[in-house]
Every structure is written in C-alpha cells, then in structure tokens.
Amino acid sequence: YADLTMVQLDGGRFATSDLNDLYRRVINRNNRLARLQEILAPEIIVRNEKRMLQEAVDALIDNGRRGRTVVGANNRALKSLSDIIEGKQGRFRQNLLGKRVDYSGRSGIVVGPKLKMHQCGLPKEMAIELFQPFVIHRLMAICGNNNTRDAMKLMEKADDEVMQVLQEVIEGHPILLNRAPTLHRLGIQAFEPKLVGGRAIQLHPLVCPAFNADFDGDQMAV
C-alpha cells in the first residue's frame, strides 16, 4: 500500500502517513491486552484495556466520530481511513470513479469566429498526441519500414512533413468535445478538427449555448 510507505526527507527525518500512527496504536494496545491476559491481570484492568483497544480501532476507521479525536504533531487531527476514502480527492472519486484516458486531452476554449459550426480548432501540440498511433502508422508506410522507433523520432521533430501527415490523418477522424458538467446529451458533440496554433481549443460561438460554455476560462475535454 503505497500511501503507508515512509519517505526519507533531507536531514534524516521521515515523512509518513497518518494511518501508520493509527495502526501503531491498534497494534500496541492489542499486544498490551494480550500480555495482560497472559499474566491473569484483574478483570477491571483487562476490561479497561479492551475499551482502549476499541477506541484505537474506532479512531483508525473514523477518527473523532466516537470519543476523543487522536491528534499528531502540531495538534493536528490524524487522517483516518474514512477521511482517505471520502470526498472529491478520496479513493473512490479520485482513483476508482475517475481515470485518466489515453489519447484524450483538456484545454481552455477561445472563440473561433472563422470556423464553421461543425468545426473546432485543435492545437497542433495536442493533435500530435491524440492522433499519435495513426501518424506513426502513416509515417512507417511512407518510410517503407516497420520500425516504430524511427517513425517516433520523425514525429518528435514535428516538421512540415509530419504536419502534412497529421493533416491527412485528422481529415478522416472527427473528435468528441465535452464540457463538464454533462447535464444532457448536447454536452458531448462531435466536431471536425482543424489544426491551429497556440494551446487553446477554438470553438464557434454559436455552439456555446448547447455546452453552456463561454470564453471566460472554461475548459473542454477532447
């Protein structure tokens, strides 16, 4: 479990997850309870140790939900398992429900009044990544060999020949543009890409209402 791994900092100190401290409390109290039972300690002491063990387990699962909040350095409440799972940055929404997708991109949108309504301006820097497999395949055919490495070296140069190949590739490949939140089906639409300079996606102003988009910093995904 990567989040529990200790990371060495400058000066010989270590950074560690809050969960390590909470797990350590559970293990120590469990071991102490086992020793008390071995030496046949009085029932009241064993019962008190069981209660403390239960409190340590509760703090590990949901710190502060029941009983006193366990704090660490600087009097900061330690993050428990429930804190790591819940919320936008939690395991479910960040790592399970949301995934990075190959051959996709995101950028800000700017107005492209010279575009047709079915067209969008796609930055060359983004297009070369989105259509990488098709460009490499075409370059391999042009070079007359099956060496992917040579084709990738050519593509990295991004010279006029590569841009010409990219232009030929995108003519037969429409792209999908999406603006979150996607509240209805018009939140995702297909467009014919046109290569443009810069890093912003260009959009015809008349298609903005369907996306509920404007040009004050909105971003769209490809």
Place of tokens 């490949």: 173
What pLDDT score was predicted for residue 3?
A: 62
What pLDDT score was predicted for residue 76?
A: 83
Token pair, residue 187, equals 């939140």
User: pLDDT at residue 1 above 60?
Assistant: no
Give the domain ranges of the chain.
2-96, 106-221
83-139 per-position pLDDT tens digit: 888 877 777 777 777 778 888 999 999 999 899 999 999 999 999 989 988 888 888
50-65 per-position pLDDT tens digit: 999 999 898 888 887 7
Nearest to 115 by CA among 16, 191, 58: 191
User: Which class does domain 106-221 fall in?
Assistant: mainly beta
pTM: 0.61
What pLDDT score was predicted for residue 91?
A: 74
In the DSSP assignment, the letter for residue 144 is T
DSSP string for residues in 75-124: GPBPP-HHHHHSSTTSIIIIIIS----TT--EEEEEE-TTS-TTEEEEEH
User: pLDDT at residue 185 above 90?
Assistant: yes
What pLDDT score was predicted for residue 4?
A: 67
Identify the H or E element spanning 155.
Answer: helix 148-157
